[in-house]
Amino acid sequence: MALVGRRDGRNFGYGRQLSYAGPQALKDMFGGGHYGTVKAHSDRWQAFVKWCRSEEGPGINDARRIDRKVLADYAAYLRDMVKRGDLAVSTAQNRLSSVNRTMAALRGDQYVKLPSPSKALGMKRSGVRQSVPQGQDREQVNQIVNALCSQHQLRAAAIVLLALATGMRLREAILADLPRLRCLRIALHNQGLRFREQAVRRVHPSVGQYRRACHWRSPRCLANRPRRQKAEDQGGRHRVGGQHAS
């Protein structure tokens, strides 16, 4: 929806409702694209509109009446929510940034805005996690698994444990190809043995003794073992399977 009449109309010409005008102005600003950005700003704008209409807010429904004092009062309201623990600092800053962006889209200028959301809140976001991520608390996960097992939901319990152990998403754990994962585990195990063999090769020239001592079990070694044994009995160094027999 484009501007209705002059820009100095109600909500700067974007309609009668403040909740409707903000998203429409954002769509015009981004040319009908950037759907994720428009959706994020619109959702945060709705939180601002809800505050404007509440008893704690100014009780307005027209963007023309929004000034810097209204934005400062909204920042103080968010600051109180953060102090009570009802809102994260990052969420409060994002809400203020979205209000700035939406007001710029409505007005067509940068006159009414908070220059710095972090300074307006008087708080800085921290990148250090203060709590265990949801789903990573092993005691909580064990309680969930026990509850599932008590209800005979063994497959669901196994999926939960698989997701916890591997870091998979729920959908990935449900659709996991377990035989392929088992083969991959065996391949990684064999690859680790190869690395160990290479490390010993640098220290001990006789790799054959190392293989016999460690019972090396790679598929290629098992396939070539009879020919390797025959080559060793003959005392020669014949190429077996693309490698020199030891």
Q: Kindly give the residue spans of alpha helices, DSSP state H, lying in 30-131.
A: 35-53, 68-84, 89-107, 117-121
pTM tops 0.75: no
Q: Which domain holds residue 168?
A: 138-223
- Separation between Cα atoms, residue 103 and residue 108, nearest integer Å: 8
Q: Kindly give the residue spans of alpha helices, DSSP state H, lying in the chain.
A: 18-29, 35-53, 68-84, 89-107, 117-121, 138-150, 154-166, 170-174, 178-203, 207-214, 219-234
Number of compact structural domains in the chain: 2
pLDDT digits (tens, 9 = 90+) for 78-91: 999 999 989 989 99
pLDDT band at 229 (very low <50, low <70, confident <90, very high): low
Whether residue 163 lies inside any domain: the answer is yes
Residues 70 and 147 in one domain: no
**Residue 77 pLDDT more than 90?**
yes
Residues 103 and 30 in one domain: yes
Residues 109 and 185 in one domain: no
Residues 147 and 195 in one domain: yes
Read off the pLDDT of each residue in 102-131 and give the average, rounded to a whole number. Answer: 86
Q: How far is CA 171 from each of CA 19, 41, 100, 147, 223, rounded to the nearest angstrom?
A: 36, 29, 37, 21, 39
Whether residue 39 lies inside any domain: the answer is yes
Residues 112 and 180 in one domain: no
Residues 176 and 216 in one domain: yes
